[in-house]
Structure 1
Amino acid sequence: MTPTAIGLILVSALLHAGWNLIGKRTAQTVRFYAWAMGLGMLVFSPLLLLTWTDISRLPADFWYLLLASGLCQTLYMTGLAKAYGRGNLNIVYPLARALPVLIVPLVVFLSYGQSQLMTQDLVGMALIMLGSLALPLSRWRDWHWRDYSTPAIRWVLLAACATAGYSVLDSAAIQLMKQQGMSAFAAGSSFVVLQAAACLLWMLPLIRWGLGESLRAVPDFGWTLLAGSFIIGTYLLILVSMSMVSEVSYVVALRQVSIPLGVLIGVFWLRESISLPRLQGLGVMLLGLVLVSL
């Protein structure tokens, strides 16, 4: 992985931890994420003016990928909102970030029949996953399978599977845009706005008729606007970095550097408690991150 790609991913990790903090503190509703996506899309929409001619020439396959990605983003936001309403940031956030590390390589292998990951990468990803299993625990002697069957964890699983889905779909869409002659930045900057629009196409009917939430009032305009800008900006950096690597699994794994940031924010800002198993789990996850990034 190139230093540029690593740098983009690290900056995106800071932004990602930031908007998850805002989401946890401000509101745990899907409505909040819908407003955030909409406002973020408006902030970054001028980027489409630079690439609209190229976008209009993209094949139908691209638009199918975009719609599917929007659905996965909707499921991700829904799972995240529901999980935050039922669990602490220092548990929900690391699990939601760590689980896709194993899911994405599996999806890539099943989709393409091959993988470019080396043994070191697989060991690192396994360590990230093992570390995440310790996060719901307060004490090792209290371990029980029921710790992983709470409502919050079930919503986390939905968010993690959806993350894996949109990661693979978005990587394919970005590569298709590059094949049409678009640069990494042009492809990433335009796709991130289009994806937000596709997400809203799925999210608004879900909120109105599936969840029964009202869209009339913004939860908190200032924080929602900031969160939306962070959401779109974060993924813009990720989409550009996706175009610089040989396999999307690398990006998904290294993005998990945001996990310790999320936990530290939960402990020092939200005053959430942290146990020894959680600290040890974070240590194992960090070791796995180092192996993946080397």
Structure 2
Amino acid sequence: MTPAAIGLILVSALLHAGWNLIGKRTAQTVRFYAWAMGLGMLIFSPLLLRVWPEVTALPSAFWWLLLASGLCQTLYLTGLAKAYRHGNLNIVYPLARALPVLIVPAVVLITYGQSQLQATDLIGMCLIILGSLALPLVCWREWHWRDYRTPAIAWVLLAACATAGYSVLDSAAIQLMKQQGMDAFAAGSSFVVLQAAACLIWMLPLVRWGFGESLRVVPDFGWTLLAGSFIIGTYLLILVSMSMVSEVSYVVALRQVSIPLGVLIGVIWLREPVSLPRLQGLVVMVAGLFLVSL
């Protein structure tokens, strides 16, 4: 990976951990994320207007990818909101970030029939997964498979699978935009606004009729606005970095540098408990991240 791509991903990781802290601390509802996506879309909409003629010329295949990506984003945010309602940040966040590291390469391999990952990349990804398995544990001697059979873990699995889905779809969409002559920033900046709109197409009916939540009142406007700008901003950086790498699996793996940040935030700001297995799992995950970033 290029230094520029790594730098963009590291900044994105800081923003990502930040909006997850806001989501956990302020509101654990899908309505919160719907408002955040809408406000973030409005903030970044000038970026779309700047390249609107090029966007309208994109082929129909792009718009189908965009619609599918919006659905995956909706499932991701729904899973995240529900998981935070049932679990701590220092458990939910690392699991939701780590599991796509294993899922995305499998999807890429199945879809394209080949992968550019090296042996060290695969070892690193396996370490990230092994480390994530230790996060729900309080004591090794009390380990039981039932530790993973909780509502929070079920919602995390939904969020992780949805993350893998939109990562692969977005990578294909960005490559399609580049093939049409758009540069990396133009493609990423316009797509992130379009994706927010596509997400709202799925999310608004789900919030209103699926969960019966009212959309009339913004849940804590200031924090929702900040979260929305972080959500769109962090993914803008990721989309631009996707255009700089040969395979999306590298981006998905290195993004997990936000995992230790999420754990530290949960412990320091939210006063969440931390156990020895969780600390050991975090160390293993960081080692995996180091291998992937080489």
The answer to whether the superposition gives a TM-score over 0.5 is: yes
Q: Secondary structure at the match of 1:230?
A: helix
Q: For 2:275 and 2:61, how far apart are their aligned partners in 1?
A: 47
Q: For 1:119 and 1:194, how far apart are their aligned partners in 2?
A: 36
1:98 lines up with 2:98 in the alignment: yes
Query: Amino acid of the residue matched to residue 150 of structure 2?
Result: T
Q: For 1:271 and 1:216, how far apart are their aligned partners in 2?
A: 32
Unaligned runs of 5+ in 1: none
Residue equivalent to 2:157? 157
Query: Amino acid of the residue matched to residue 86 of structure 2?
Result: R
Query: Amino acid of the residue matched to residue 66 of structure 1?
Result: L
Residue equivalent to 1:27? 27
Deviation by residue 1:159-195 (Cα, 9 ceiling, x = unmatched): 0000000000000000000000000000000000000
Residue equivalent to 1:218? 218
- 1:52-201 equivalent positions in 2, closer than 5 A: 52-201=52-201
Deviation by residue 1:85-127 (Cα, 9 ceiling, x = unmatched): 0000000000000000000000000000000000000000000
Residue equivalent to 2:8? 8
Q: For 2:142 and 2:258, how far apart are their aligned partners in 1?
A: 27
Query: Amino acid of the residue matched to residue 156 of structure 1?
Result: V
Residue equivalent to 2:206? 206
Residue equivalent to 1:259? 259
Deviation at residue 130 of structure 1 after TM alignment: 0.3
Residue equivalent to 2:45? 45
Query: Amino acid of the residue matched to residue 110 of structure 1?
Result: I
Q: For 2:128 and 2:289, how far apart are their aligned partners in 1?
A: 7
Query: What TM-score, normalized to structure 1?
Result: 1.00
Query: Amino acid of the residue matched to residue 291 of structure 1?
Result: L
Query: Amino acid of the residue matched to residue 164 of structure 1?
Result: A
Q: Secondary structure at the match of 2:51?
A: helix
Deviation at residue 49 of structure 1 after TM alignment: 1.6
Query: Amino acid of the residue matched to residue 54 of structure 1?
Result: E
Residue equivalent to 1:244? 244
Q: Secondary structure at the match of 1:46?
A: helix
Deviation at residue 50 of structure 1 after TM alignment: 1.2
Query: Amino acid of the residue matched to residue 274 of structure 2?
Result: I
Say what the alpha-carbon RMSD is for the aligned residues: 0.3
> What is the count of residue pairs matched by the alignment?
294
Query: What TM-score, normalized to structure 2?
Result: 1.00
Q: For 2:287 and 2:186, how far apart are their aligned partners in 1?
A: 34
State percent identity of aligned pairs.
86
Deviation at residue 48 of structure 1 after TM alignment: 1.0
Deviation by residue 1:227-263 (Cα, 9 ceiling, x = unmatched): 0000000000000000000000000000000000000
Runs of 4+ in 1 over 4 A off after TM superposition: none
Q: For 1:65 and 1:178, how far apart are their aligned partners in 2?
A: 15
Query: Amino acid of the residue matched to residue 257 of structure 1?
Result: V
